[in-house]
Structure 1
């Protein structure tokens, strides 16, 4: 069983741990440094229009989370999305259920479209967003991550 709910400040510790595990594994996010509870809380509270959802199992363990926030370059009606699922838990419908909640909340909040930036070498991420109805609209070539690694990013768009 997977329950979806809005993330709260008390979830920041577990969300940071989940994301830090993903960062440590590498290959699916452009983030390169571990995330602390304080970092996560600051990110969650960084913009009043950001929307955060978590997926949890029957005992309340966090299986994943998703956020949308105003895109830094495209304005207040374009949301930047990010999705993170606990290692070993992909393919269970976590991302799909999170996206249904995020999509509805984004519409209510006045977003017109959602932008996803996925590392070109992240096959699972590309498949996930494509299967949700996102369409390719651009590419960032030679994105330099904080650790110096260079990757391309595929830009995908979902019209609300």
Structure 2
């Protein structure tokens, strides 16, 4: 059984472990350098009520996924939030992302966002399928994006109207 709840600072270390495994595997996230629990805790605290973080936990309260919406990057208007989704390696396709998005979508509406932006590596087939299946629509592309590790990737921009 998977439950979704708002993330708290005590979840940050588990979230960092999950994310670092995804980073190490490569190919799906634009985050290229390992993160710490403190990094995630600081990110969670940094948006003055304009962000929402959720975790998916199993029956043992182990974090098996997390998702956030936060104020958009420079190219987005104030009414748009960026979204990021991470599911434990080997646990994709089990409905974790769907449950996370239900909570995140409701939280984004409550904050006052009008739409959600997904900025997905073009080579991340699973991510593209996930956001498409949630109802996100393509609206743009970033070509030649340089990640923090120097790797160059293209990104697909998808939009979900709230």
TM range, smaller chain: over 0.9
Aligned residues: 160
* Residue 72 of structure 1: how far off its partner (Å): 2.4
1:13-43 residue CA offsets vs partner (Å, 9 max, x unmatched): 1001111111011000011110011111111
1:40-77 residue CA offsets vs partner (Å, 9 max, x unmatched): 11111111211000000011011100000010222331
Counterpart position of 1:70: 71
Distance 1:89 1:40 in 2: 21
2:3 matches 1:18: no
2:146 matches 1:144: yes
Counterpart position of 1:59: 60
Please give the TM-score of this superposition, normalised by the length of structure 2.
Answer: 0.97
Please give the TM-score of this superposition, normalised by the length of structure 1.
Answer: 0.98
RMSD value, Cα = 0.7
Distance 1:139 1:57 in 2: 35
Give 5+ residue unaligned stretches, structure 2. none
Counterpart position of 1:104: 106
